[in-house]
């Protein structure tokens, strides 16, 4: 119940209530149906509709004849009435999408992240990508309600700052929100990459909006976005989803983590670590080709890690036993983490995605369900199903754009 709100605020709120009702209806609604659905008076619905029609956010779409009375005009969303940009900054790839008001992807571009990791360069690439989707789509900037940015956490949502991502030291205190707004003239909104991915998946997947699932985001590292009781869960500071230091492989062979422990989940599965294991096992050739002594970690740039990770997964797919053993161990470790996650949150669905996912997808889908069954300590009262993102590689960018549509057009 809005208390003490002034009139323009109430009008804006009512606009979003009506727009939201029309959006959720799918096929559109008559003004009479809107009165029933929103609890607003007929006069208010009439005023709001006129305003939304004038703004080009809805359209009149034919008449509905229903009984002996006057035919009713159906009001539908005007998908091209407003747009949102979504940008996903990953250390290896920058994805940019343009969504219309219905949430359909109108245009998308993908750019290599600068290998230097330099923040100014990174923002320049993102700004260029935003310009490019707008130019290609022919959509006027005035029709774009904002830019949603997905980035590695931890983030400060209030100020739009990336605080200190553990695996991307160059992005410490990156003022993403301000910089993108200054460069594009568009309002911006920052979200953690795993949260944005969960938002994108929930938007597209009809089952997502009602259930509970974890979105395992596999990129430079691993993180988890959560949809709990039908809603995206973000936590006290919007930084939910850090899973890096849960211990899953504590033996003497477990990957040594920066925290000093062995077998942390994040370290046990991140591509850099698997690539280093591949080099030591002789499956991959280190840049320069020199042998790498035990306990020494090479300083590899993100592109090299990405190429070597591709080589490792290909070798395993081609039957190389040592490469397969490295990946299979990371799948076993993932299963152990996911069994604990599923027991804690009582979820029955895990969705995988993120920039590193496609290369291991087949192997995970083949092995992970079996590994989960082996681990199940009779705790779970139901099985856990596993799926790949129904949105695909753009999922975090799509989710970031969804957040803009939501912030602009959802009643609150």
List interacting residues with its own copies (CB under 8 A).
1, 37, 39, 154, 156, 163-164, 166, 211-212, 224, 228-229, 231, 233-248, 250-251, 258-259, 262-263, 336, 339-341, 343-348, 377-382
Helix axes 395-409, 193-204, angle to 10 degrees: 80
CB atoms under 10 Å from CB of 95, counted, come to: 24
Q: How many CA atoms lie within 13 A of 178 on its CB side?
A: 9
Closest CB to its own copies among 60 and 253? 253
Number of CB atoms found within 10 A of residue 24's CB: 10
Least distance from its own copies to the Cβ atom of residue 34, Å: 12
**DSSP H stretches of helix in 26-161:** 31-38, 42-54, 119-137
Minimum distance between the CB of residue 212 and its own copies, rounded to whole angstroms? 5
Q: How far is the CB of 1 from its own copies (least distance, A)?
A: 7
Give the shortest CB-178-to-its own copies separation in angstroms. Answer: 19
Judged by beta carbon, residue 211 or residue 369, the one nearer its own copies is 211
Please name which of 224, 275, 274, 272 lies closest in space to residue 245, comparing C-alpha atoms.
Answer: 224
Q: Which of 43, 381 has the CB closer to its own copies?
A: 381
Structure tokens at 139: 């959509």
Q: Which is nearer to its own copies, 71 or 158 (CB)?
A: 158
Of 163 and 407, nearer to its own copies (C-beta) is 163
Closest CA to 361 of 352, 369, 370: 352
* Minimum gap (Å) between residue 257 Cβ and its own copies: 9
- What residues contact 220, with CB distance under 8 A and at least 6 apart? 90, 91, 92, 152, 167, 168, 270, 271, 272, 302, 355, 356
CB closer to its own copies, 33 vs 100: 33
């Amino acid at each position: 119940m809005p208390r003490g709100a002034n009139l323009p605020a109430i009008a804006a709120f009512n606009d979003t209530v009506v727009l939201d009702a029309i959006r959720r209806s799918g096929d559109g609604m008559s003004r009479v149906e809107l009165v029933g659905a929103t609890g607003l008076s007929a006069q208010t619905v009439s005023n709001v509709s006129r305003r939304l029609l004038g703004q080009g956010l809805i359209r009149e779409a034919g008449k509905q004849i229903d009984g002996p009375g006057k035919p009713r005009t159906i009001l539908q969303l005007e998908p091209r009435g407003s747009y949102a940009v979504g940008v996903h900054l990953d250390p290896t790839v920058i994805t940019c999408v343009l969504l219309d008001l219905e949430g359909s992807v109108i245009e998308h571009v993908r750019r290599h992240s600068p290998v230097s990791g330099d923040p100014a360069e990174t923002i320049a690439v993102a700004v260029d990508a935003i310009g490019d989707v707008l130019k290609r789509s022919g959509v006027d900037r005035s029709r774009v309600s904002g830019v949603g940015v997905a980035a590695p956490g931890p983030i400060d949502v209030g100020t739009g700052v990336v605080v200190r991502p553990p695996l991307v030291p160059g992005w410490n205190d990156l003022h993403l929100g301000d910089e993108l707004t200054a460069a594009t003239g568009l309002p911006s909104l920052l979200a953690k990459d795993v949260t944005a991915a969960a938002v994108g998946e929930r938007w597209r997947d009809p089952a997502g909006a009602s259930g509970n699932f974890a979105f395992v985001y596999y990129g430079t590292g691993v993180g988890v976005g959560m949809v709990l009781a039908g809603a995206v869960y973000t936590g006290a500071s919007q930084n939910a989803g850090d899973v890096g230091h849960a211990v899953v492989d504590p033996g003497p062979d477990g990957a040594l983590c920066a925290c000093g422990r062995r077998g942390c989940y994040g370290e046990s599965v991140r591509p850099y670590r698997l690539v280093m294991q591949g080099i030591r096992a002789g499956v991959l050739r280190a840049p320069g080709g020199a042998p790498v002594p035990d306990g020494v970690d090479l300083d590899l740039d993100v592109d090299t890690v990405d190429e070597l990770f591709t080589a490792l997964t290909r070798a395993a797919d081609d039957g190389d036993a040592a490469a397969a053993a490295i990946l299979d161990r990371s799948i076993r470790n993932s299963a152990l983490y996911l069994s604990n996650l599923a027991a804690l949150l009582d979820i029955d669905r895990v969705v995988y995605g993120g920039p590193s996912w496609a290369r291991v997808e087949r192997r995970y889908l083949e092995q992970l369900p079996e590994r989960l069954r082996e681990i199940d300590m009779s705790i779970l009262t139901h099985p856990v199903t596993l799926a790949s993102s129904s949105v695909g590689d753009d999922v975090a960018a799509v989710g970031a754009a969804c957040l803009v549509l939501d912030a602009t057009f959802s009643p609150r």
